[in-house]
Amino acid sequence: MALSTALEEAYAACDVEGDILDTLEFDHPTLATPLRFVQGTRVPGLYETVSLPVPVEGAVDFTVVAFNFTRPGLEEGGVGRAKLRVDNVSRYLQEALRAAISSDQPFSVVYRAYSTLDTGNPEVFDGLRMGNVSVSPVSATGDLFYEEIEMKAFPGLTYTLDDYPALYGQ
């Protein structure tokens, strides 16, 4: 059986040698700079940070921490939320989470998956929000979700009589 040209190209482009580096970027108005983490096991003196390119900023350091990222699943009521657990939170996230409690702004989270063969083109999931956060001395867990678009005003304008008199038959 012959393969189509498109299928041959898809098989040829498949990366089977490189590793995937899963990263998380937490941002909040109370933070001076975003907190960036790469999934792994920290080895003091040898493997504590990884430098990876980020749009606009260029190469930045991601701190190596253990975290578990569960992608959203399909549930009876629709798509479920993604789950996140970051270990060793007392060292990195606890102060930031405490400062965020007094704010009414949610954490913004960016998930990137870098291939070690081509770090310049990561798979990016941005616009994520973090909610239902619980913090213990050793870890933080939370739900990742996209802002509920159906709750936003569409088209984002308020049609008033002064601005749009034709809509009111005048």
Q: How many residues does the chain have?
A: 170
CA distances to 6, 14, 58 from 3, in Å: 8, 15, 40
Q: What is the pLDDT of residues 128-143, one digit of tens each?
A: 888 788 877 788 888 8
Q: Is residue 25 part of a domain?
A: yes
pLDDT bin (cut points 50, 70, 90) of residue 52 is very high
Look up residue 22 and give its two tokens.
């899963």
pTM of the model: 0.71
pLDDT of res. 1:
43
How many domains does the chain divide into? 1
Comparison of pLDDT for 152 and 109, the residue scoring more: 109
Look up the domain containing 164 and give its range. Answer: 17-168
Alpha helices in 17-150 (DSSP H): 89-92, 94-101
CB 112, CB 25: distance < 8 Å: yes
pLDDT of res. 15:
56
Residues with Cβ within 8 Å of 135's Cβ and at least 6 positions away in sequence, in order, are 89, 93, 94, 97
CA 40 to chain centroid, in Å, comes to 17
Q: Is residue 71 part of a domain?
A: yes
pLDDT of res. 32:
85
Q: Is residue 56 part of a domain?
A: yes
Q: What is the pLDDT of residues 70-88, one digit of tens each?
A: 877 666 766 677 888 888 7
Q: Is residue 28 part of a domain?
A: yes
Instruction: Tell me how far apart the alpha carbons of residues 104 and 169 are, in angstroms, rounded to a whole number.
Output: 41
Q: Is residue 117 part of a domain?
A: yes
Q: Is residue 5 part of a domain?
A: no
pLDDT bin (cut points 50, 70, 90) of residue 62 is very high
Work out the burial of residue 114: count CB atoms within 10 Å of its CB; fewer than 13 is exposed, 13-18 middle, 19 or more buried. buried
CB 20, CB 39: distance < 8 Å: no
Q: What is the pLDDT of residues 90-102, one digit of tens each?
A: 566 777 777 776 7
Mean local confidence (pLDDT), 16-44: 85
Q: Is residue 1 part of a domain?
A: no
Comparison of pLDDT for 53 and 150, the residue scoring more: 53
pLDDT of res. 60:
93
Mean local confidence (pLDDT), 16-39: 86
Q: Is residue 39 part of a domain?
A: yes
